[in-house]
Amino acid sequence: MADRNSKWVREGFETYAYILLYIALSSGQIFFNKWVLSSKEINFPYPLGLTLLHMVFSSVLCFMLTKVLKIMKVEEGMTLEVYMSSVIPIGAMFAMTLWLGNTAYLYISVSFAQMLKAIMPVAVFILGVAAGLEMMSCRMLLIMSVISFGVLVASYGEINISWVGVFYQMGGVVGEALRLIFMEILVKRKGLKLNPISVMYYVSPCSAICLLIPWIFLEKSKMDAEGTWNFKPLILTLNSLCTFALNLSVFLVISHTSALTIRVAGVVKDWVVVLLSAILFADTKLTLINLFGYAIAIVGVAAYNNHKLKKEASRVVSSDEPAQSLPLVSSSTSNK
């Protein structure tokens, strides 16, 4: 009996430790990126270059962990046809999401960017309906209306609004929504399920190539002219390592808990980011209208997550699959 209680306590402690690790890494990485990119801090205003470095670093580490050290396993089943038709679009959209999202930090505050991200379920739902993956219903229309209204109220309360930053952030939201749609198609229509480390292994190199091309034309010449190649490599390496650690923490939370846990933790993380950014960054000024609108949006997001999880649970039960066999859409690595 004592051994059973001890095991239960140990497992509970491990679960909470993984959740706290995810929240800390996810929140910390957002602040770290803002700190590196901000002209008032580290002043490395090259979001393309930073994102490209993240993807190259992730590609190398994934290869080392799975093929050289063999600490983790890449799931089998990937074919050239699936890679060309699904993984490349996913990698391209992932690259677009990270690039535009990081660029937005040059123009808007972290808290406002986080509030705008709350519109994500609306974009996913609209694109899902267009792709035949979602069904229009009164309940979903109500949820989407609540989220949209909340984001509009939060935006109305923003004091230092930059429409350029809003444009970049909304572009990142659309890119992420398209990535999730492509992942859903990969799961439903092609029947391929991959764990997060496998997703990183296949997607990271593709994203790196997609980022390399625009970086050569948009940022390389600026970095050459300003001598940015002399930038302290330790900070960029640490930033890339934190990004990779965040992706692995998602893997740990999902494998030790459930998709519901990671989504609830994501909502908590969003609030942590919004509130802490007001303390850490001078360009963040929260108003009551901001917080009220964001609270409305979060209620809608929670309702959306609950609806999606019920659908996923019913799909798992109907197909008699193990609970840990999670679809790709549960392994979010861009909800940073």
Cα(315)–Cα(67) distance, rounded to whole angstroms? 33
At residue 322, the pLDDT reads 46
* Residue 312 lies inside a defined structural domain of this protein: yes
Tokens of 10: 């140990």
Q: Is 83 within a domain?
A: yes
**Regions of the chain short of the pLDDT cut 70:** 1-5, 7-9, 11-12, 187-189, 227-231, 251, 254-263, 282-283, 312, 315-336
Compute the distance between CA of residue 328 and CA of residue 192 in angstroms, rounded to an integer. 9
How is residue 27 written in tokens? Answer: 């929140």
Q: 86 is written with which tokens?
A: 């699904």
pLDDT for res 153:
92
Residue 222 within any structural domain of the chain: yes
Structural domains counted in the chain: 1
Domain presence at residue 18 = yes
What is the pLDDT, as a whole number, of residue 332? 38
DSSP assigned state of 107: T
- The parent domain of residue 311 ranges over 2-330
Q: What is the pLDDT of residue 8?
A: 65
* Residue located via tokens 């600490």: 71
- Closest by Cα among 270, 273, 252 to 195: 252
Answer yes or no: pTM beyond 0.95. Answer: no
73 sits in the region (left: phi over 0; alpha: psi -120 to 50; else beta) called beta
Q: How far apart are the first and last CA of the chain?
A: 41
Q: Return d(Cα 194, Cα 254) in angstroms, integer.
A: 13
Helix, strand, coil content of the chain in percent (nearest 5): 80, 0, 20
Contacts of 275 (CB under 8 A, 6+ apart): 111, 286
Residue 289 belongs to some domain of the structure: yes
What span, in angstroms and rounded, lies between the C-alpha atoms of 142 and 147? 9
How many whole angstroms separate alpha carbon 34 and alpha carbon 43?
10
pLDDT of residue 188: 67
Contacts of 92 (CB under 8 A, 6+ apart): 206, 207, 210
Contact 23, 267 (CB under 8 A): no
Residue 336 lies in a domain: no
